Amino acid sequence: MRNTRMFILMLFASATLLWAGGRTEQAAVDTTDADLREAPMLAAMVEAGELDPLEDRLPVNPMVVDDMWEGVGNYGGGPLRKAWMGPSADRWGMEKNSSEYLVHISQDGTTVVPNIAHELEILDDGTRFVFHLREGLRWSDGEPFTTEDVRFYWEHMILEEIYVPLNPIWTRGGELAQVNILDDYTFEIVFAESYYNFPIEMTMQMREFFYPAHYGRTILPEFIGESAALALAQEAGFANVEQFLVSFGRFFWIRPEVPSMRPWVPVNDPESGIFRTERNPYYFKVDADGRQLPYIDGIEYQLVEDSESIILSIIAGDIDFQDRRVGMNDFATLMENRTRGDYAVIQWIGEAGGGHIEFNRYPQDDVLGEIFRDVRFRRAISLSLDREEITEIVTDGLGTPAQSSTNPGGAYYRESWTQAYAEYDPDRAAAYLDDMGLEWDSNREWRLRPDGQVLEVIMTVESTQNVALYELIEAYVRDIGVRWITRVVDRGLREQERDDGITEASHSTWNGWSWPVRPTSHVPVQPNRLWSREYYNYMTSGGTQGVEPGPDVAELVENWNRFGSLPPGPERDQVAERMVDFWEENLLNLGVFTQTPVPSVISNRIGNHPPDGLTHSDPLRSPLNANMIAFFFRQ
C-alpha cells in the first residue's frame, strides 16, 4: 500500500469523482481562446484599462462546472436579494452561499473532490497528503494565490492560535503534523501515524487552509506590533485585537477588506441595512462554454429583525432566494402566497435531526452537572417524550421520530440506535429518576435535587421558529417532575454563554447524514458543542483547561482516533460498530425527529435552481450544493 498514488481518497465505497454539488470536473479549458467570455461589467472594466484581460485572471486549468440544473445561463440582472439578521446571527449562512475550500466533500459524503486544489495524493499508508493547487490562481484583489498563503496560515495563524486553540486534527501519535512547501503550487501535510480520514475531517474542521499572506502581514501584531494592531482594531470598531482578529481572520468572508477566493466578495460594511457583495473578477471557475462564473453580478443581504420579517418580505416579492430562517412552520403560508410573491417553494431533504437536546456536563451549578452526567437522567428525559405526537404536531407528520443517530442510508446506520430509549414510557422515565434518588416535593409537583432545590433545567435557544417543539418538551418533562424552561436569546449571546459555561441545556440539530464526516454531535472534536466543550478544552490545552474525560469518553475518543487511522475495510467497520454501541447505551445527546423537509424560496425569475429532493446538509455547506454560482436571471 505504501507510495500508492491516488487521485483522491475513497473513504468508504464511492467510485465516482463528484464536486460538492454532484457534478463532475471536466477537462481543462484553453484560456487563450478568444471566445472565452466574461460578465459585461467586467468586460467594460477591461475595455477601460481598469482590469486585466480574462486570460490573465483565470488559472491555467480553471475548474469547469458542467451539468447544471437547466444548462448554461446568461450574465447580468440582479443583484440577487436575500434576507439576513446581521453578521452575528447569520454570518454562517452567508459563508455557505459561497464556500471555497482546497477540496470539497462529495454529495454522497464518501470522499473529497477537487476545488482550489485540483489534485490530492495520499501516500505512505495514509500519513502523507500532497495537495496540488491550480497554477495561476489569484485573490480577489489580483494578487497571486500560492503555497505561500498556505504556509502563512499554518505558521502565523494556526500554530500561533490567533483566534482558536490548535485543533486536535493536527496531532497524530502525539506528534504535530508537518506542513512542507514543495513549490509555489504544491505542498504536503505529513503525520506521524496513518490518518485516512484526514481529508474529510479537514473539509469540516478546517475548511479554508489558507489566508492571504500579503494582507495578513498588514494586520497581525507579530508583523506590525501590538500598538498598531490595537489602533486597527479600534478603527474597525473593536474593543481589542483579539475580537478584531476573530472577525478579520475566522469570519473573514464578511469583511470587505480581506481578499477572497469566493465568487462574490463584500463591498460595504456588514452592519449596513443592505450588505452588498459583487462578483470576484478573478474567480477560478467557468461553465462548459468557458465563460467565467458566477452569472449573477452580486448578492444583497437585507437586514431584518426576525424570521417573521423574512416571511413578510418573501410574500411581498422582495426576496429572490431564501433558505435560511425559513422552516416547516412557514410552509403553509409560503405555499398559499406563491402567486402573490412570484416565487416557488423548493423542498430539500433535511439530513439534520431536529429537537436535538444537549446538556452541559459541567455547568456552573455543580449539583446540576452531577445530574446531567448520570445516564439515567438522560434516559428519563428521552423516555418522557412522545416523539410520535411531537413529530406529528411540529412537522405535520413529515418528519421521522428518532434518537440522535444516523439516518437510514447513512454511514453505520443501526435501527436499534435510532430507537434507543426513544419510546414514550413516562413510567419507566419516572423509575429512572426514582432510582437516582430525585424525590418528589411534598405536593408531588416537582422533583427535588440532592440539595433540596427544585430540579429545574433552563434550555437556551436562539430561534422562535420552534415554539411548538419547546412547549411540548416542557409539557412532557413536567409530567415526570422536571421544571423545564425555554429561554430565547440571539446567537451571539447564546455562543458567549455556552463558551462561558453558563448554559445548562441547549437545542440544536445533529448530523444524521454521515457521522464520519462530521462527528461533532457524538465525539468531542470541536469547541462549539455544549456536551463536549470541556473535554475538548482539556484535550487541546494539554490538560491545563477543561475537564479530563472519564474512562467512557476517553475510550470513545480512542476509538474515533483509531477509526480515522484505518483505510476502508472490516477492521475500520468493527471500530465504528463499537462507537455505535457506546452511543446507543449512553445517549450523549437526545434526538426527537429527523429527515424533515427543509423549504427554501426561489423567485420565478431565477434559472438553474435545484428541484425538490436535494439533500440539505451542513457538511455539504447547503445551499452551496444548490450551485448558486450557476443561478441566473431569466431574460
DSSP 555-604: HHHHHHHHHHHSPSSHHHHHHHHHHHHHHHHH-SSB--EE--EEEEEEET
The pLDDT > 90 percentage for the chain reads 68
- The whole-angstrom distance between residue 294's C-alpha and the CA centroid of its chain comes to 22
173 Cβ contact partners less than 8 Å away, ≥ 6 residues apart: 191, 192, 193
Q: Can you tell me which residue has the cell 430525585? A: 438
At residue 80, the pLDDT reads 97
Q: What stretches of 255-306 adopt beta strand conformation (E)? A: 264-266, 274-279, 285-287, 298-303
Q: How confident is the model at residue 35 (pLDDT cuts 50, 70, 90)?
A: very low
Within the chain, which residue ranges are assigned CATH 3.10.105.10? 352-594
Cell numbers given for 180: 512542507
The answer to whether 510 and 516 are in contact (CB under 8 A) is no
The pLDDT tens digits of the residues spanning 201-228 come to 888 777 789 999 999 999 999 999 999 9
Residue with cell 448558486: 628
pLDDT tens for 414-449 read: 999 999 999 999 999 999 999 999 999 999 999 999
Q: Is the pLDDT of residue 592 over 50?
A: yes
Reply yes or no on whether the pLDDT at 172 is more than 80.
Answer: yes
Q: Specify the higher pLDDT residue, 166 or 428.
A: 428
The CA distance from 563 to 575, in Å, is 6
Using alpha carbons only, give the angle 3, 9, 11 rounded to the nearest 5 degrees: 125
What does the pLDDT read at residue 21? Answer: 31
CATH 3.10.105.10 fits 352-594, yes or no: yes
How many angstroms separate the CA atoms of 191 and 127, rounded?
5
Short-list 308, 318, 271, CA closest to 86? 271
Comparison of pLDDT for 504 and 67, the residue scoring more: 504
C-alpha cell of 597? 423537509
DSSP states along 436-456: TT--B-TTSSSBB-TTSSB-E
How many angstroms separate the Cα of 263 from the Cα of each of 55, 139, 282, 300, 619? Answer: 17, 11, 8, 14, 20
Strand-pairing partners, residue 278, are 265, 298
pTM for the model: 0.82
User: Which of 324, 262, 276, 263 has the alpha carbon at shortest distance from 89?
Assistant: 324
Three-state DSSP class for residue 532: coil
